[in-house]
Amino acid sequence: METKHDNLNPQQSLEIISDMINQVKGNIRSSSFYFLLWGWVITFCNVGMYYFFKYTEYQRQAPLVWTLCIPAWIITMIYASRQEKKAGVVTHLDRISMWLWIGMAITIFPSWIFGEKINWMVNAIVLMPIGMATFLSGIIIRFRPLILGGITFWIAGTLCYIVGPIEQYLVGAIAMVFGYLVPGYLLKKSNQ
Amino acid sequence: MLAELDPLLHSQLRLGIMSILMSVESAEFTFLKEKTNSTAGNLSVQLDKLSEAGYIHIEKSFKGKKPLTTCKITNKGIKAFEEYVNALKQYIKP
């Protein structure tokens, strides 16, 4: 692209504007990494909780499995920062997406801290905002499996109010498989 | 009477840069160079002109040991771009 002044007519100006907008239109980052990382971490935590509560005496220590989320958060932040530097551009939707997930994390954080007060029935509370963030991410990147993943979380979240306090961990684990892992692997495949 | 087109925006490369920056939060120099298909020298000169006019904000930092230039459109730049598009509409109206 050169720096021409005189021979640029209004039609050409409009073409430049629409060309450039089209160039950046498909630039939304759609990394499967986060869904796979968190899918495995939370599935493992849920299965761990179910196992400790159902088959062992270590019920007081069981919630410690959630501390696995701390390294997962650190990995997430390092990865996100590297991706942003690598992409060379930050779109408005990237920014919205980032704040959507940070907002979701803030929403569910107290339930992990004060989980004991609600008999560790955290899945009923956390799956709903996770469903909303997943559903909206699917809308943002226009990826149907993620939209269906979000709906899965909403159904699972509702189901957690019906099943027993121990079984809700199994519901949570299954929701993670269909809400995060399956769409995550499909997204990875589509990006390749 | 037809509105005058902003001479600072009425150039192929500068209009291209501003159109990209209108659509994103921020963009690095290499990204702008790739998308506008321009040379580093020419892009650098045009970015400086837009920056001097207050249309864009340029932030210089380092990515490892390499210098990193990140550009962002300013409120003044958004207003100028909108006025340019409005003026353009008058020229195109049948």
**CA-based nearest distance B63→chain A, Å:** 8
How does pLDDT run across A104-119, given as a tens digit for each residue? 999 988 887 888 788 7
Band (B26; pLDDT cuts 50, 70, 90): very high
What is the count of structural domains for chain B? 1
Q: Torsion over CA of A41, A42, A48 and A51, rounded to 10 degrees?
A: -140
User: What 8-state DSSP symbol labels residue B28?
Assistant: E
Is 60 exceeded by the pLDDT of residue A2? no
**Cα separation of A43 and A174, whole Å?**
8
Is 60 exceeded by the pLDDT of residue A33? yes
Q: With respect to residue B57, please indicate whether it lies within any of the assigned structural domains.
A: yes
How does pLDDT run across B35-73, given as a tens digit for each residue? 999 999 999 999 999 999 999 999 998 877 788 899 999
Interface of A with B (CB under 8 A): 1-5, 8, 10-14, 16-17, 19-21, 23-25, 27, 85, 87-92, 94-95
Percent of chain A with pLDDT over 70: 93
Is 60 exceeded by the pLDDT of residue A16? yes
* Among A62, A68, A69, residue whose Cα is nearest residue A48: A62
Q: With respect to residue B52, please indicate whether it lies within any of the assigned structural domains.
A: yes
Q: With respect to residue B16, please indicate whether it lies within any of the assigned structural domains.
A: yes
Total residues belonging to chain A = 192
A92 and B19 within 8 Å at the Cβ level: the answer is: no
**Cα separation of A167 and A153, whole Å?**
15
Question: Of the candidates A17, A25, A88, which has its C-beta nearest B27's C-beta?
Answer: A88
**CA-based nearest distance B36→chain A, Å:** 6
The pLDDT of residue A93 = 84
Q: With respect to residue B78, please indicate whether it lies within any of the assigned structural domains.
A: yes
A20 and B63 within 8 Å at the Cβ level: the answer is: no
Question: Looking at per-residue confidence, does B22 or A94 come out higher?
Answer: B22
Q: With respect to residue B2, please indicate whether it lies within any of the assigned structural domains.
A: no
**Continuous H helices in B1-94:** 12-23, 29-36, 40-52, 75-92
The pLDDT of residue A119 = 78
The pLDDT of residue B94 = 63
Q: With respect to residue B62, please indicate whether it lies within any of the assigned structural domains.
A: yes
Q: With respect to residue B44, please indicate whether it lies within any of the assigned structural domains.
A: yes
Question: Looking at per-residue confidence, does A121 or A7 come out higher?
Answer: A121
Q: With respect to residue B25, please indicate whether it lies within any of the assigned structural domains.
A: yes
**CA-based nearest distance B53→chain A, Å:** 17
B35 and A21 within 8 Å at the Cβ level: the answer is: no
CATH number for the domain that contains residue B86: 1.10.10.10
Range of the domain at B73: 12-92
Question: Of the candidates A10, A25, A89, which has its C-beta nearest B91's C-beta?
Answer: A10
The pLDDT of residue A154 = 96
